[in-house]
Structure 1
């Protein structure tokens, strides 16, 4: 994983970049390269908290081209501090997570409930510009069946929610979280990736450790910001 930087809209922004090369496929909820398919790179790019572009897929394509990335890949955006990406490993599983919790969100909320992302803090004041979104990238060294890829996403998401609750955030994530799970194409496919399977348990532990570390780091950033006020 490489950490790269760019200047955009007067800000210095970071991105993490994996050049996996051919022979791997991913399952992802990302805007660029989402779904299941072969990929050769994964890009997680930071944007400003005031990001207002309405063509994020095109933007990600531009960023990929600027780094010389070719062929199919996965691109994700986040306003979280990408240079504070947390990396954790567990017996061959590698996970990185960028954690921003500007608007912690429960997955299920009553229909018609106001979106806290859009709600003012005091009267007509605009919300404070704090970073949001949790992006997770998981790499496993074994081939996974289609069903196991889906199962890996579920396992990682459950581990994320567990980590957030343990870190003191009453939420299951944010409304804009994204995930990418990467596995090799060749080899005998593992049929399961649930939290009690061999590889699913490793995914769960690595995701839990990375997200928990990121959430605790984010909480410390908030406390430091409040001390400066």
Structure 2
């Protein structure tokens, strides 16, 4: 674990969550609406909700949830997922300069999809492959975007190796590239080595790719073992 970071899991059944807390502010890039885009946060959260979660004011609802659990919403970048947090996975990788990359993933495949294929509105519900990456270094804006690309490519590679295929009638048998509501959160400790790039040819990109790939493989395998034990195919809560 990166020095100054600590993670915790709070088991509340379908309302469980895990949080990653930092002793110092982190710069973040978040695809979710809670702490969206670029920002500065001390806490990262992945919260489990019911697959049919619906709220007229999700921002206010999330802030109320955080407040109820002693988390400062203004200092938190958060994700929602309908995936079972018991299937979460964690991976870490150190690169030669001593910097470390940590990754947390929750994965579920019931709304798996292939990019470029139209999806039904009914397939849209809280994110089912959520990826959080923290880098012990300083990232430029370009490196943040590179990190999103590298993490997404690694996720897709893992889905291929797990054998996750779409069910679409017109594309049956093709490998899924993700789900309809995936989310990614990249955070930088903003200290130590400065990184201008995070593509797959860089040491940082390798570390991001490896940790995301291994975490998706581990979380995805847990999901598949749990769901295929009682019903055929790849299905389940999320």
Q: 1:96 aligns with which of 94, 101, 104?
A: 104
RMSD value over aligned CA atoms? 2.1
Report the alpha carbon displacement of residue 188 of structure 1 after superposing the two structures with TM: 4.5
Greater Cα offset, 199-208 or 177-186: 177-186
> How far apart are the structure 1 equivalents of 2:121 and 2:57?
24
> How far apart are the structure 2 equivalents of 1:173 and 1:53?
24
Q: Is 2:82 the counterpart of 1:79?
A: yes
> How far apart are the structure 1 equivalents of 2:26 and 2:68?
22
Scaled by the length of structure 1, what TM-score is found?
0.85
Deviations 1:154-194 (A, max 9, x none): 10000000000110012111111111111122345211100
Q: Is the 8 A contact 1:106 1:171 kept in 2?
A: yes
Stretches of structure 1 that go unaligned for 5 or more consecutive residues are 120-129
Deviations 1:121-152 (A, max 9, x none): xxxxxxxxx99611011111111111001100
Scaled by the length of structure 2, what TM-score is found?
0.82
Matched residue, 1:192: 197
Deviations 1:2-34 (A, max 9, x none): 00133xxxx553101011143311111011001
Matched residue, 1:123: none
Q: 1:153 aligns with which of 134, 139, 148?
A: 148
Matched residue, 1:122: none
Q: Is the 8 A contact 1:102 1:132 kept in 2?
A: no
Counterpart of 1:41 in 2: which secondary structure? strand
Q: Is the 8 A contact 2:111 2:123 kept in 1?
A: no
